[in-house]
Amino acid sequence: MTRFIFVTGGVVSSLGKGLATASLGALLQARGYKLRVRKFDPYLNIDPGTMSPHEHGEVFVTDDGAETDLDLGHYERFTGVPARRSDSVTTGRVYSEVLQSERRGDYLGGTVQVIPHVTDAIKQFATADLAGEDFVLCEIGGTVGDIESLPFLEAIRQLGNELGRARAMFIHLTLVPYLKAAEELKTKPTQHSVKELQRSGIQPEMLVCRCERPIPETERRKIAQFCNIRSQAVIQALDVETIYDVPLAYHAEGYDTEVLRHFNLPHDGEPDLSTWAEITRRTREPEGEVSIAVVGKYMGRKDAYKSLAEALAHGGIANNVRVKLHWIPSEIFEESDAAARLSEVHGILVPGGFGSRGSEGKIRAVTFAREQKVPYFGICFGMQMAIIEAARNLAHLPGASSSEFGPCETPVVGLMTEWMRGNQLERRAAGGHLGGTMRLGAYPAKLAADSLLASIYGATEINERHRHRYEVNVTYQKVLEAAGVHFSGMSPDGLLPEAIERSDHPWFVGVQFHPELRSRPFEPHPLFRSFIAAALEKSRLL
C-alpha cells in the first residue's frame, strides 16, 4: 500500500522545506521503507532549466534528463533514490499537458477548468510512475496563501480525501520566531498559517516548527490547541549546524515516529541511523582543513552551486577534513593577478557555467593551476576553459575559443549538432529553442585504461549526468594531445570528449559531465574524494 505525505510551508519562504522533506525520507528509509520524493512547483516555467541560477539557484539534472528544482538534489543526497522526470512537476508542465489534451479533443467538447481538469492532472502526476513504494513524499513549493499554490492545495486536498487518513498525511512547516524585545517565542504566525491552510480545506496532522530557540512545553501545547493537532505532533525543528544534522535532530523530536503513528505503523523500535551519526561526527570533528577556490560566475547566491558545494563537503567527509570554500568571481582575474587570490588555496575548481562573461578570468585561473601544479578540477564549462587555455598557451592556437561566445577563428569548443542517445540520433540546430534541448541526463563514457580517471573510478566504463550544448571539438584532439592534454574519457562512439587530464601535473582533471549530481554524504563521489585527497597532499607541501 502506497501512502502519500504532503508537505506544505507557511509564514515565510526558505524555511528548509526541501531539507525537512528529504530528512523525513531518510528517516523512513532507515526504518526499511521504500519511497519516492516529489516536488510540485507553482511557477509557470515548464521546468527550471531556463531560469537563472542567480534567481532560482542551481538546476538539478536527473538521470532521465529532466532539469529540475534543486530540492530534488537534497532528496537524492538524503535518500540515495535517483530522482526521475516524474518527480518534478511545475504549474507550467501541468497546464501544458492540459492544453495539449484540449487541442487533441480529449475533453470531448467540455469547458476546460482549473477544477477538475487542472487538479485532476496534478493528481495524476502525484500518483504516476510508482512501483509499490511504501511512501510518496510530495513537497508543495511556495507558501500557503500564494495565489499560485491554490490548484496544488486543492488537488492534494482532494487526493487526501479520496485516499483517506490511512493513506494520506499533511505536514505543515512553519516558523516560530523569537522576538528579542519581548524575549518570547511567538506562535501567532503559525496559528495564522494553519488557518490559511484550513481555508483550503486542509487540516494538517503535523506541524514542523522552525525555531532558533527551544519551544517551551506550554507554547507547544498552545500551538497544538489552536491548530487542532496532537501536541506530540508539534515538532520542534531547531536550527542545526550543518544540513546533515537534520535527520538525527528531527528524529530526536519524534518526527518519523509521529508519522508512523499517524499511519498506524509500528513505531516503537529505533531506525538505524548509524551512517548519519558517522557523517555528523566527521563534519564536526575533522582532522584537518583544505582550502578550495571555486572560480565561477554566480557567486552572489549560495544556492547557485548547491550540489557542487555539497559534493566538495562529501569529498571532505571521505578524507576526514573540513573543506573551506572560497567563492571567487572569475571576472576579478581579468583585472588583477590570479596569484594574489589563488596562491594560498590547495585546489582550484572551475564549475559549470554559461556565456562569455568572466570566461577569460576562468582561463587565467586554469593557467595558474596548471603552472603552479595546484590540483585543478574543471567541470563542464571548467573542462572547456581548460581546453581553450591549453590550445592558446601550449598548442600555439591564439585564436582558440568556444563558439558559445560567438564566431571564432579556432573553435576548439563548438556547438553539438548531433549525438547518440542510446540507439537514437539527437539533432540540434543553432538558434533552436532553449528549453530542454541540451544534452541532458545520464550518458555512458569509456575511460582509457591507463588514465588517472580510470584509477579514481576503479572502472573503465562510467555513466554520468550531463547538461551542455557545446562540446570539445575532436578535430583538435591531435594538436591538444601534443600539448599534453590526454583525452582520457570519450563517448562510446568515440566522437565526444568526456574527460581530459594532464600527466605532467599532480591532479589536473576536466570532465564534460556533472559528477557533483551523483555525490552523496554516505557515498562521496570518487572524483571529489580524489580531488580533496590531492588538495590535502598539496596542503602538506605548501
Enzyme catalytic residues: 380, 514, 516
Cβ neighbours around 106 below 10 Å, total: 12
| Closest distance to ligand GLN from the beta carbon of 307 (Å) | 12
Q: Is 192 in the site for ligand GLN (CB under 6 A)?
A: no
> Considering only residues 385-424, where is the footprint of ligand GLN by CB under 6 A?
404
CA distances from 25 to 20, 29, 52, 149, 495 (A): 9, 6, 28, 23, 40
Cα–chain-centroid distance for residue 470? 22
User: Which member of 65, 247, 353, 358 binds ligand GLN (CB under 6 A)?
Assistant: 353
Residue (55 or 162) nearer to ligand GLN, CB: 55
The contact mask relative to ligand GLN for 420-459 (x = CB under 6 A, - = no) is ----------------------------------------
Q: How far apart are CA 40 and CA 140, in angstroms?
A: 5
Residue (153 or 380) nearer to ligand GLN, CB: 380
Sole window of 109-117, 125-133, 333-341, 462-470 interacting with ligand GLN (rule: CB under 6 A): 462-470
Q: At what angle do helices 71-79 and 306-319 cross, to 10 degrees?
A: 20
| Closest distance to ligand GLN from the beta carbon of 213 (Å) | 41
Sole window of 253-261, 333-341, 347-355, 483-491 interacting with ligand GLN (rule: CB under 6 A): 347-355
| Closest distance to ligand GLN from the beta carbon of 395 (Å) | 20
Q: How far apart are CA 247 and CA 240, in angstroms?
A: 10
Q: Is 214 helix (H, G, I), strand (E, B) or coil?
A: coil
Q: Is 469 in the site for ligand GLN (CB under 6 A)?
A: yes
User: Which member of 175, 209, 311, 380 binds ligand GLN (CB under 6 A)?
Assistant: 380
Based on the number of CB atoms within 10 Å of its own CB, is 212 exposed (0-12), middle (13-18) or buried (19 or more)?
exposed
Sole window of 130-138, 221-229, 367-375, 468-476 interacting with ligand GLN (rule: CB under 6 A): 468-476
CA distances from 146 to 152, 191, 209 (A): 11, 17, 20
User: Which member of 117, 306, 465, 467 binds ligand GLN (CB under 6 A)?
Assistant: 467
Q: What letter does residue 467 receive in the DSSP assignment?
A: E
Sole window of 93-101, 342-350, 351-359, 455-463 interacting with ligand GLN (rule: CB under 6 A): 351-359
Q: How far apart are CA 280 and CA 286, in angstroms?
A: 10
Based on the number of CB atoms within 10 Å of its own CB, is 43 exposed (0-12), middle (13-18) or buried (19 or more)?
middle
Residue (142 or 358) nearer to ligand GLN, CB: 358
Q: How far apart are CA 292 and CA 71, in angstroms?
A: 25
Q: Is 65 in the site for ligand GLN (CB under 6 A)?
A: no
Residues that bind ligand GLN (CB under 6 A): 352-354, 380-381, 404, 467-470
